[in-house]
Amino acid sequence: MPTEPVLPESELRARALQGIEEGRLPLVLSTHIDAGYGEGVRCDLCDKAIDADKIEYDVTDPNSGKCLHFHIACHFAWQRECARRLKGVPPRYAELRKRRS
């Protein structure tokens, strides 16, 4: 299954929290996501390669302009933590909000 998590949910959440705390992952709600099949690049959350049979989510960090790559499950884990720390808005609503430039 392309959407199957590569790590257990609890582990993804722990890594998302750690990434945000260490500043490796921005604390933002994604407003623009490019999705496609993986190209073998490393996931910014779990550090594992995103294989061609997995869905890859590409998000641009609005602070640094850096492109971040995630497995779909890793992206959700990260966004869930961001939402919890920001306004408590679930990620699925974040995508419906007005896009910033």
- Residues near Zn ion, by CB under 5 A: 43, 45-46, 71, 74
Are residues 71 and 55 in contact, defined by beta-carbon separation less than 8 angstroms? Answer: yes
Our CB check for Zn ion shows the closer of 43 and 82 to be: 43
- Compute the least distance from the CB of residue 65 to Zn ion, in Å: 21
Our CB check for Zn ion shows the closer of 41 and 97 to be: 41
Our CB check for Zn ion shows the closer of 6 and 29 to be: 6
Residue-level length of the chain: 101
Give CA–CA dist 8/24, Å, rounded: 20
- Compute the least distance from the CB of residue 43 to Zn ion, in Å: 3
Are residues 42 and 49 in contact, defined by beta-carbon separation less than 8 angstroms? Answer: yes
